[in-house]
Amino acid sequence: MRLYYLIWVDCITNFMVKEKVERNLKIKCMIAMCLAMTANFFLPVIFLHRHGHLKFYDINFNIPYPPLNNWANFFVLYMLPCIVINYLLIFHNNRYKKLLKNYPYNNGKLFLYYFTFSIFSPIIFFGIVFLYFQ
């Protein structure tokens, strides 16, 4: 949990330093971290789903427009869990203010490394898989 909180404090402080205003701070931080966490969550779940270990992890909303159905499925199964966990652990009862006092700021480097690795690792993984299994 310490690393999780360190990354969050780095993210929040980084946005506070760059923007100098706390307007929409929670939303911007939540979007950035949820994108990274969703990418991290997406990769192992897809891998387990493809190999038959997670047959239950699928929802069909019966929306007549298939792309919208896929986006709704992705949001509920992959993004919503990250949003709920982050909200409860970071923003509920303004817990982030206590965390800012207890954890150091790493000049945004820790958040940048985490975000970059999280976003590009699925892309690289699927690129390798595509090239290898073509």
66-84: pLDDT as tens digits: 788 888 888 888 899 999 9
Range of the domain at 56: 2-132
What's this model's pTM, rounded to 2 decimal places? Answer: 0.81
Distance CA 107, CA 113 (A): 11
Mean pLDDT of all residues in 73-102: 91
Write down the pLDDT at residue 25. Answer: 85
Q: Tell me: the pLDDT tens digits for 19-61?
A: 776 778 889 999 999 999 998 888 777 777 777 666 666 677 7
Count how many domains the chain has.
1
CA distance 118 to 41: 9
How confident is the model over 104-119, as pLDDT tens digits? Answer: 998 889 999 999 999 9
Tell me, what amino acid is at 130?
A: F
Check residue 32 and give its pLDDT: 93
Say how many CA atoms lie within 13 Å of 111 toward its Cβ: 22
